[in-house]
Amino acid sequence: MKRPSIARLILPLIAMLLPSLAGAQTMPVPVPSPPSLAAPSYILMDGRSGHTLVEHNVDEQREPASLVKVMTAFVVFSELEAGHLSLDEQVMVSERAWRMEGSRMFIEVGRTVSVEDLLRGMIIQSGNDASVALAEHVAGNEETFAQLMNQYASQLGMTGTNFTNATGWPDPDQYTTARDMAILARAMIDRFPGYYQFYSEREFTYNEITQRNRNMLLWRDNSVDGLKTGHTSTAGYNLITSAMRDGMRLVSVVMGTSSPQARADQTQALLNYGFRFFRSYELYGVDDTVTEARLWKGASDTLRVGVEQPVHVTIPQRQHDNLNAVMRLNTPIVAPVARGDRVGEVDIRLEGETLYTATLVALEDAEQGGFFGRLWDEVMLLFQ
């Protein structure tokens, strides 16, 4: 009797195992509970989608300390972008700026300093003197500058924040929340990528004095590229951080920790958790065709439909195939239609939960059809 080949014996066994192997490959990574931090308020947010991955007391109003300087920089960057300032523009140092206490870059009264040096002095060295000099140069005085800060905060949707100065110097009427600081950090990174690079610089020398960036994660984690520390005796130790790994950006805020080491360690725990268990995806770009809708009374019978803004979602790892899109079109869609006209909405869902709702718009102009075509569609619409 001819003995069966080894292949004939093994292949059926492999075939039996394939379904279980395939299932193992597609099994989602379990997502444990986030780390519990010894901080009164904190948040971890995806930088692109804005989806919150971890939160604790995120709307509790707290003293920001030098986190305020992120908004100070945001206002100055806005002035630079608008052409109202230049990096090499010279700023006269006032006595008020020179006399500022706390952390300083050691500018001298009556001297001029470039906007670029003041920005580095404020961002890297956390100079209160630099912050006041910039505020006075932009708005005349620090009080008027604070009005600008609050106007930008309102535009960004920072509903739990009020600024009274450009430095973060303690004031009972100055407060913010972890959520608002994350919103501000995302806006900073998105709007000013060229200027954002200041936040990754580890040290700056001015007036022959070299000072190191107080964000120790810039030395510990190569994926970290910003943003800002803050501390007063009443605020505790605060830290806004952003990091990028494998194309995914996360933003974290911890407020009120007990030491510089604690704020760094707890931020690191948040970042590691987010990068390990979540992934961010761009589902649709602004020019992607999401669907083709029925067009009535048009030269064409269909209309290409897409999203008004790019759609990003952040979900647990290996859950991408479980996403689904549910569209709600404003039917009937009747010609003429202009590119950009809103024609409905799409819900992005994962396991029955709506993660994101996006506005659907026409991706093209659609002219009216001929007389008989319009007449026929008019009749057909009566039966819809």
Q: Known catalytic residues?
A: 66, 69, 126
- CA dihedral sign, ordered 128, 130, 133, 136: negative
Task: Report the alpha-carbon distance of residue 269 to residue 336 in Å, rounded.
Answer: 54
> Tokens standing for 18?
């394939």
The amino acid at 291: T
Output phi, psi for 188, to 5 deg.
-60, -50
Task: Report the alpha-carbon distance of residue 252 to residue 243 in Å, rounded.
Answer: 9
Q: Where are the alpha helices (DSSP H) in the chain?
A: 6-26, 68-81, 95-98, 115-123, 128-139, 142-156, 178-191, 193-196, 217-220, 260-277, 371-381
Instruction: Write the burial class of residue 8 (CB in 10 Å: 0-12 exposed, 13-18 middle, 19+ buried).
Output: exposed
- R_g of the chain computed on alpha carbons: 27
Task: Give 103's DSSP letter.
Answer: S
What angle do the packed helices 68-81 and 178-191 form, to 10 degrees?
Answer: 30
> Tokens standing for 177?
């929340």
46 has which bridge partners?
250
> Tokens standing for 319?
């859950």
44 has which bridge partners?
54, 252
* Alpha carbon separation from 66 to 73, 164, 254 (Å, rounded): 11, 13, 13
Task: Report the alpha-carbon distance of residue 180 to residue 153 in Å, rounded.
Answer: 9
